[in-house]
Amino acid sequence: MSVESIIEAAKQSIIDIDEEKAASVARQALEEGLNPVQVLTEGYSAGIREVGELFSRGEVFLPELILSAEAMKAATEILESAITGAAAEKIGKMIFATVEGDVHDIGKSIAIALIQTQGVEVIDLGRDVPVDKIIEAAEEHGARVIGTSALLTTTMPNQEKLEKALRERGLRDKYKTIIGGAPCTQRWADKIGADAYAEDAGEGVTKVLELMKA
């Protein structure tokens, strides 16, 4: 098979939610000496982004999205072994929480499911999480990125509170912060001093990977 057809098969296996095919394409890619990073980014990651887009349009549903992420995980494990030559290593740790006073976590769960497929270890603190607990967890786990979600205009100020608390404790430069949730915007991120804003789960994946490299 050509490089293009293997990459297309990798992408399609995720869209078709075919875990077995995703794994077999990954093995075939390695046998034929393809660059695993290319297969991962142009094939599987493109597939999961497309599934994410279909989900945001109501054409694919949460169970399918989760199963697609599982198929991606199976392929990623095979490719990562080849990339590192050993057991797959995570590219970094991230703390993720819905801020205090806010109990909405569907969006956060979707974002986490997708981010995890990219080799990021995500520590999910759940919902209604106070700022102090978020910072403690980041320190404890040695996280690089802190992500917070807020679905309410009344709970958004807790994202600003996190930024202030990090500055007051002299920890602001130690972490990269990313915010999301329906009422959040890039303007809000700029105003409070967050490092990044993501409109949806798909963009969250891209932004988190950028922050991990920064």
Partner 1 sequence: MSEFFTRMGDGAGVYMTAEEIREDILKGVKDAADRGKVPELTQEEMDYLYQIITMPGNIVGVERGREVVSTSDSGSCKITYHANIAMERSMAVLVSEKVLGADSVDIGNMDYSYKAVKQIVHNETPVMELAQLNAVMPVLYGSMPNLGLYTKPDGPVENWSELLPLAKISEARAAQEEAVEHAVRDIVFVAGEMYEAGADGINLDTCGASGDADFLAGLLATEKIKEKYPDLGVEFGAAGEFVLGMHGKLEYDGTKIAGLYPHKQVKLAEKAGANIFGAVVNTNTNMSFPWNIARTVTFLKACTAVATIPVHVNVGMGVGGIPMSEIPPIDVVTRADKALIEIGKADGL
Using CB under 8 A, list all residues that contact partner 1: 57-64, 66-67, 70, 105-106, 109, 112-113, 153-154, 182-188, 199
Q: Which residues contact 57 (CB under 8 A, 6 or more apart)?
A: none
44 versus 188: smaller Cβ distance to partner 1: 188
Mention every residue, 6+ apart, whose C-beta is less than 8 A from residue 174: 166
Residue 196 contacts residue 189 (beta carbons within 8 Å):
yes
C-beta contacts of 59-68 below 8 A and 24+ residues apart: 62/106, 62/110, 64/17, 65/110, 65/113, 66/113, 67/17, 67/19, 68/14, 68/15, 68/17
CB of residue 132 to partner 1, shortest distance in Å: 23
Q: Sign of the CA dihedral 154, 126, 171, 196? A: negative
| Cβ 64 to partner 1 shortest distance, Å | 6
Least Å distance between CB 16 and partner 1?
A: 16
Query: For residue 177, with 0-12 CB atoms within 10 Å meaning exposed, 13-18 middle and 19 or more buried, which class applies?
Result: buried
**How far apart are CB 187 and partner 1 at their closest, in Å?**
6
CB nearer to partner 1: give 8 or 121. 121
Residue whose CB is less far from partner 1, 36 or 181: 181
d(CA 111, CA 68) in angstroms, rounded, equals: 13
Least gap, CB of 35 to partner 1 (angstroms): 29
At 104, phi and psi to the nearest 5?
-85, 125
- Name beta bridge partners: 197: 179
Q: How far is the CB of 103 from partner 1 (least distance, A)?
A: 8
196's enclosing H/E stretch is strand 196-197
**Bridge partners of 92?**
120
